[in-house]
Structure 1
Amino acid sequence: MEAVIAWIDAIMRETMLFAAVGFLIGGLDDLAVDAAFLARSLRRWVRKTPDPILADFPIAGCTGRIAVVVPAWDEAAVIGAMLRTTLARFDHPDWRLYVGAYPNDRATIGAIVAVATEDSRVRLTVTPAPGPTTKADCLNALWRAVCADGMAEGRPFTAIVLHDAEDVVHPGELRVYDHLLRHADTVQVPVLPLADPQSRWVSGHYIDEFAEAHGRQLPVRGALGAELPLAGVGCAISADMLQRIAEHRGGVPFDETSLTEDYELGLTVRALGGRGVFVRVRETPGGPPVAVRAYFPARLDAAVRQKARWMTGIALAGWDRIGWQAGGGLHDHWMRMRDRRAILAIPVLAIAYVALVAWGLAVMLHGVAGTKPAPVDPVLQLVLAINLCLLVWRTAMRWALVRHAYGRGEAWRSIPRMLVGNLVALLAARRAVVRYAGTLRGRPVRWDKTAHHFPDIAGLPDA
């Protein structure tokens, strides 16, 4: 019995020390971003700098020609509703909708054709190869179609906007892109996951993560002048920049061997000397933002697949593929490290749960044996106390950001949803490592998409 207790005590001490140090490093990293965010907010408040409003981007001032591209694989359930909603909502004077599908996905092709026969602004593009390939491969087929139409009509498109088959677009979105792309090469607007009443916890945890990512992290990146990755939806790229990237990559702008072509595209723009901006435009002063809205995966397995793709593409394969920006500043390297820390944080999180279980067993066994556990080292006690303070602060920041975007109800749910996010991350990390190992053995990269459903848009901003 004594040997077992000693063994459990040793496991508890070592795992607790490892996890405590790991959490301390991550917590201080997050605290630095919070400090930058609060400094930015204070500066804007002192200078009385409000968010721009949609009226600052008038339709009369729009001069560009925009192609909206939507890659689609196995999207027959949602693509028709998405296309009709998009056609009814956008208020830009000169735009066209290109939808990519695969020759072996007849159901999706049929849904697209049904809409295309009703509205000439919809163009179907069928990829040369059967699916699924990668999303980037489908995007390259769409890009070639956009370029060919622009050349044939003698009116090249000035910008390409990326959307997914489940997105609810904002009516004023294209106006914002049109105006801002005169001074930038890429523009990203916020992504706001919709609250799914059928999945408050799994789908709901995306609310919390995007409230932080697009409410705090991307504004900080912009304020620091760091490179801005794109989210793959709600973003626009100038046609000139895409052409430069295509020339840089040997003919096509999207890397067909990447699982996260959108993320890498934003970094490539910066590497080529381009400028990206993240912008929060309000419909009216203090009103809802111009943003992309969509339902995110509602089931645990679907969320795990999606998160695993992000981890593989950014934190594992992305580290190999793009490394660190040559000549980049400290802020660029810091942000790339933050992008990749997810896969490093997973072992810390897993070991923390092991430490928690070991602590519970140690308390129980010492109680049975009538002995007292060894005292915790004073230095470790200090680290644990600091971590507790950082956790309380992190929880409060998340609560505030979610409340700002979604209200008090979702803000309070965000606290227990942290456990859901941890579970998804742990399961996704295992899948990501297995998938990455497969690519190292030569397994081809495939589009590992999730099933989507399209919302009833009644009640959404500008519905």
Structure 2
Amino acid sequence: MGENMVSAETAWAAAVQVLVPIERELLVFAAFWFVVGLVDEFAVDLTWLWLRLTGRARTPALPRGYGAAPLAGPIAVFVPAFEEAGVIATTVRHMAGAWPQDQVRFYIGCYGNDPATLEAAMAGATGDPRVRLVINGAAGPTTKADCLNRLYAALSCDERRSLTPFRGVVLQDAEDMVHPAALQVIDTALGAYDFVQLPVRPALQPDSRWVAGHYADEFTEAHAKALVVRSVVGAAIPAAGVGCGFAREALGRLVRERGGDGPFATECLTEDYELGMMLSREGRGSTFLRLRDAEGDLVATSSYFPAELSTAVRQKTRWVHGIAFQGWDRMGWSARPLELWMALRDRRGPLTAIVLFAAYALLAIEALLLLAARQGFVRPEPHSTALQAMLALSMAGFVWRLASRAVFTAREYGLAEGALAMLRMPVANIIAIMAGRRALVAYVRSLSGGAVTWDKTAHHGHPALVAPMRPAGEGARS
């Protein structure tokens, strides 16, 4: 037995000696990239603070009754829907009630092999003549972009028959709850810009405070700070795919330049992101509008985000694959310093996943080495001055990021959610690591000829069933 104990101690000591150089390399790697990330985020934070102090990043309040006025011209709302029978009726009914203007047309994209969604959409329309159900000729699911292009073709057909061009196109998803003032805000902005984006405000889910809740933290900080900075300094703005409007002429120009069946790239997993970036860089450009109604509620699109870990990872895998990998391939890199900086921020998902994985692996190794040091198997070596400085900056940056996220979340959702935002950071990190790995695997598979498919998220609940319904022009929470 004594020999076994000696053998075990020898093996433990040998394993610890292997871990020592690994720990040192991981420490340098993680600390360096944490400092780089700190500089990046701190630059955005300082820019936002400067814009805030100079009054250029404030959130204006709309007058009471805003949102009910007639539109400047016909607006089409595109809603792609596949296997959305659980939510599409509520979405159509709520959207038609929130936006009562006669000039709006709702194009709901369905599939012949998905009769449940088609029936639910018809039930939600309740005979409203502004609602058009458009059937895709292909069996679903195709891609979201393909469904949107089918809706674009239906719009073009309506224009030819009526001899009346549309003013713009608004994108929404099948699970969205829209703000009553949003349509008039977009309609007004399209008089000056080719692309306008409104914020996304994830609805809280009491039964998924950790997984679904982390979306609230991320979107709130991004859409209250990062996109505000991008818009004010003139950088290209990505489209979120919901709550965004495009000038009809700008979409037509893209179709004429690129050819094809529509303005949405069917081979791209994040066709909305790409379209927003393209229109931001040409024509009349883009803007991000952050506004509040007379009651203080954010004019934004609200919806329930994935509540389960596996579903959240799948969704973010598509985002990372489309924005980071396909974005690099399809859009390349800009020579303008500001655009290059923003492209690096958008495409950092895979690197972030690697750095976070290294950091969590480092925590496990550090715990083992601390145990080994207490047993006398290893003697800790002092870190170099440079490494100590990077570690100190990394820790300061971590505290700063926690505080920033907590403040922005608390401002939108209350102090309790602000406190939870700090605790949800590890959840967000784990999802980022898993999504980054899956995105890399999917991208490599696509390089080998694998098909790019619409890996859509299933939706069941709808925030409009909880929030009170109101038409445009009335003040209440949305």
Work out whether the TM-score is over 0.5. yes
Asked if the contact 2:193–2:287 (Cα under 8 Å) also holds between the matched residues in 1, the reply is: yes
State how 1:26-65 maps to structure 2 within 5 Å: 26-44=37-55, 51-54=60-63, 59-60=68-69, 62-65=71-74
Asked if the contact 1:245–1:268 (Cα under 8 Å) also holds between the matched residues in 2, the reply is: no
Query: Per-residue deviation at 1:59?
Result: 4.4
Unaligned runs of 5+ in 1: none
SS at match of 1:192: strand
- Residue 207 (structure 1) aligned with residue 195 (structure 2): no
Residues of 1 paired with 2:70 and 2:321: CA distance?
A: 42
The structure 1 residue matched to 2:400, chosen from 390, 393, 400, is: 393
Report the equivalent of 1:281. Answer: 291
Report the equivalent of 2:367. Answer: 360
The structure 1 residue matched to 2:462, chosen from 449, 454, 461, is: 454
Residues of 2 paired with 1:49 and 1:341: CA distance?
A: 28
State how 1:281-320 maps to structure 2 within 5 Å: 281-284=291-294, 287-320=296-329
Q: CA offsets, 1:143-163, max 9 Å, x none? A: 110111122112221110000
Task: Give the superposed CA RMSD.
Answer: 1.8
Residues of 1 paired with 2:377 and 2:111: CA distance?
A: 68
Query: Per-residue deviation at 1:232?
Result: 0.2
Asked if the contact 1:5–1:366 (Cα under 8 Å) also holds between the matched residues in 2, the reply is: no
Residues of 2 paired with 1:80 and 1:58: CA distance?
A: 23
Report the equivalent of 2:205. Answer: 196
- Residue 19 (structure 1) aligned with residue 30 (structure 2): yes
Unaligned runs of 5+ in 2: 1-9, 470-475
TM-score, normalised on structure 1? 0.95
Read off the aligned partner of 1:317 and give its amino acid letter.
Q
Farther-moved stretch of structure 1 (204-213 vs 271-280): 271-280
**Residue 243 to residue 363, structure 1, CA distance change in 2 (3 Å):** same
The structure 2 residue matched to 1:134, chosen from 143, 149, 153, is: 143
Asked if the contact 1:395–1:415 (Cα under 8 Å) also holds between the matched residues in 2, the reply is: yes
**Residue 425 to residue 369, structure 1, CA distance change in 2 (3 Å):** same
Q: CA offsets, 1:30-76, max 9 Å, x none? A: 1111111111101108xx96614155956446322111110011101
Asked if the contact 2:211–2:307 (Cα under 8 Å) also holds between the matched residues in 1, the reply is: yes
SS at match of 2:375: helix
State how 1:20-419 maps to structure 2 within 5 Å: 20-44=31-55, 51-54=60-63, 59-60=68-69, 62-116=71-125, 118-251=127-260, 252-284=262-294, 287-325=296-334, 329-369=336-376, 372-419=379-426
Asked if the contact 1:171–1:462 (Cα under 8 Å) also holds between the matched residues in 2, the reply is: no
Query: Per-residue deviation at 1:91?
Result: 3.9
Farther-moved stretch of structure 1 (252-261 vs 48-57): 48-57
Read off the aligned partner of 1:135 and give its amino acid letter.
K
Asked if the contact 2:353–2:437 (Cα under 8 Å) also holds between the matched residues in 1, the reply is: no
Q: CA offsets, 1:133-188, max 9 Å, x none? A: 11000000001101111221122211100000000011111111111110111111
Query: Per-residue deviation at 1:457?
Result: 3.7
The structure 2 residue matched to 1:6, chosen from 12, 17, 28, is: 17
**Residue 92 to residue 330, structure 1, CA distance change in 2 (3 Å):** farther
Query: Per-residue deviation at 1:270?
Result: 2.6
Residues of 1 paired with 2:120 and 2:30: CA distance?
A: 50
Asked if the contact 1:98–1:142 (Cα under 8 Å) also holds between the matched residues in 2, the reply is: yes
**Residue 156 to residue 371, structure 1, CA distance change in 2 (3 Å):** closer
Read off the aligned partner of 1:388 and give its amino acid letter.
M
**Residue 437 to residue 84, structure 1, CA distance change in 2 (3 Å):** same
Report the equivalent of 1:432. Answer: 439
Farther-moved stretch of structure 1 (291-300 vs 5-14): 5-14
Q: CA offsets, 1:301-324, max 9 Å, x none? A: 100000000000001122111111
Residues of 2 paired with 1:275 and 1:427: CA distance?
A: 35
SS at match of 2:211: coil
SS at match of 2:427: helix
Residues of 2 paired with 1:52 and 1:298: CA distance?
A: 32
Report the equivalent of 2:5. Answer: none
TM-score, normalised on structure 2? 0.92
Read off the aligned partner of 2:394 and give its amino acid letter.
N
**Residue 386 to residue 444, structure 1, CA distance change in 2 (3 Å):** same
Q: Percent identity?
A: 43
Asked if the contact 1:230–1:262 (Cα under 8 Å) also holds between the matched residues in 2, the reply is: yes
Residues of 2 paired with 1:50 and 1:290: CA distance?
A: 10
Query: Per-residue deviation at 1:92?
Result: 3.2
Residues of 1 paired with 2:411 and 2:102: CA distance?
A: 33
Asked if the contact 1:194–1:296 (Cα under 8 Å) also holds between the matched residues in 2, the reply is: yes
Asked if the contact 1:192–1:207 (Cα under 8 Å) also holds between the matched residues in 2, the reply is: yes
Residues of 2 paired with 1:275 and 1:344: CA distance?
A: 30
